[in-house]
Structure 1
């Protein structure tokens, strides 16, 4: 680990993503004394967590503080105004981690100098421990620091690494935005159920549970998604009839999804400047 009571993990921002990560770390047994949350406007949830767990909280970093890990869970639009006030707690041994979309490693290097910097793209299922986080590390990041990142991300789900920062935009388009695609599929499935004659509340309940159940089955199974699909598709059965429609419309779902991901990737690139 790259942090301790003396050189803590400093979490800047404890909103939905930062709060989810914090809860995951504490549930995984991380020493509360090794964590300092910096948030000038703490939520009621954060106040409650501080009271229950004994983690430290401050509205700003103390001039004497040196962070073992500085984890930035801030909105991109306020990043530039916050970074200068954090520079004092970063030295050559600090690992800087950002989970903010659209802010490149170069921005943090300009603020903190030649230090280890890891940029992470998590997604909203992290809030329930089923997240998918993808990380990029600058050359200054050591194997031990990478292992620290893996441990921190394991508390909110699965994680992986990419070798080029530019791939973050594609990651954003697939996993960052991906939950919205699944929610939209759920909406469409429920609407189709209504069109087929089901009451709206029942159709939505069936659609939600079906999507949740299929996701959990895929999570637990080692089989490829294509094989799971084939396993539920009896020849000439009801599922086959439905898939014939889904796979026949303008080349099927893959071209539509490819265009959607491309649009999200392009927008991610635009927002990053």
Structure 2
């Protein structure tokens, strides 16, 4: 089904509840009643085309509108990625950590199994936090200021001084896939933890890890295939515009 701007947003959510993630991460408030997608986007200063492309991707995973998303302003993407980070750090990861810690309460676990899982995940959290901090402190501001410089809102001298030695190439060289260790932990739990007396709780932990891994895959796809090409193109434009200076 093709999603269009005149659809009611509530109908879209009913059709595919995964769209809730797009709504939350673009900071669209709930209570949109019978308003259309176009109306809600206009009220919240969101580019309707960006929303439609994202929603279509969430609704049809064989469709990834890379070229269309690259043509949009990077502002919406930075908002989306930053709110995704908040969701990970403030909700999803703490919830999974708590679930893993509860494994210690089961007497039928092999010695130190739960402790090793907790240690593995806490090390992952540290790596995860460092990865996100780099993006929040350097990459996202760089993208915003690069755009501002091209638009004449920041002097080129200020930009060059602030980001001396930095480029999107540095980010690419140091950018790791955060979903791999989530799947490693999921595999460890599946292969090496014996059946627990509470299968429901253990199954819920596996489902939470699956959801996080799937979400991180989407997150990486947006960064690698939309954010990076946008910045690469803007770096070229900046070079051409200011190469004589």
Of Structure 1 and Structure 2, the greater helix share is in 2
Query: What TM-score does the superposition give when structure 1 sets the normalisation length?
Result: 0.28
